[in-house]
C-alpha cells in the first residue's frame, strides 16, 4: 500500500490569498490522486468567517463539502468585505454548490461543529499560525511562502512516499 501525503491548507474562507491558492492545491491533488490528499483546517481571522466555516463543516453531512467550498470561494469577492461581510451571499453561494441550506444551518448549530472550529483555533495557536493561507505537508511547514515552494514540498513528499 502506498503511503499518502497529507497536504494541509489553513484557510480563512474570507481570505483572498487562500482563495487564490486553492486551485493550486486542487491541481496538486489531481496530479497524484493516489498519494496526495488535501486537508483543510480553518483560521477564522476575518469577521463572519466563523459562520461560513460552520456551514462548510455542516455541508459534510450532505456530502457536499468540496462543491460548497469551491462555490463559496468563487463568490468570495461578493460576500467577504472585511469590514462588513454579507454572509447571506456566502449562504447563497453554498446553495448554488448544491447545499440544502436550511438543513445545513440546523446542522451547523450542533456542538460538534463548534468543537471542530474551537479545535482548529487551539491548534493554530499552538502552531503559531497567524496568517492564511498557511501550508503543512506531512506536518512540515513551507520553508518560505509561495506556489513554487508548495509544489516542491509536495513533490518531495510524494517522492518519499513512492520509495
Backbone angles phi and psi of 3, in degrees to 5: -75, 145
List, in order, residues 6 or more apart from 92 with CB less than 8 Å away. Answer: 75
Residue 11's Cβ-count burial label (10 Å; 0-12, 13-18, 19+) is buried
Q: What is the pLDDT of residues 2-61, one digit of tens each?
A: 456 777 889 999 999 889 999 999 999 999 888 899 999 999 999 999 999 999 999 999
Q: What is the pLDDT of residues 76-85, one digit of tens each?
A: 999 998 779 9
Please indicate, yes or no, whether the overall pTM of this predicted structure exceeds 0.85: yes
Query: What gap in Å lies between CA 97 and CA 60, rounded to an integer?
Result: 12
Longest dimension (CA), the chain: 50
Amino acid at each position: 500500500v502506498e503511503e499518502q501525503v497529507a497536504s494541509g491548507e489553513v484557510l480563512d474562507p474570507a481570505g483572498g490569498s487562500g482563495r487564490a491558492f486553492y486551485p493550486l492545491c486542487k491541481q496538486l491533488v489531481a496530479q497524484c490522486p493516489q498519494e496526495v490528499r488535501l486537508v483543510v483546517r480553518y483560521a477564522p481571522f476575518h469577521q463572519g468567517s466563523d459562520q461560513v466555516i460552520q456551514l462548510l463543516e455542516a455541508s459534510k453531512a450532505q456530502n457536499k463539502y468540496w462543491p460548497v467550498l469551491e462555490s463559496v470561494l468563487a463568490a468570495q469577492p461578493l460576500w467577504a468585505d472585511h469590514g462588513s461581510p454579507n454572509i447571506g451571499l456566502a449562504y447563497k453561494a453554498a446553495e448554488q454548490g448544491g447545499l440544502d441550506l436550511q438543513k445545513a444551518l440546523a446542522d451547523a448549530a450542533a456542538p460538534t461543529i463548534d468543537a471542530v472550529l474551537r479545535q482548529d483555533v487551539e491548534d493554530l495557536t499552538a502552531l503559531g499560525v497567524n496568517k492564511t493561507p498557511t501550508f503543512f505537508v506531512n506536518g512540515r511547514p513551507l520553508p518560505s511562502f509561495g506556489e513554487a515552494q508548495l509544489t516542491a514540498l509536495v513533490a518531495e513528499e510524494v517522492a518519499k512516499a513512492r520509495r
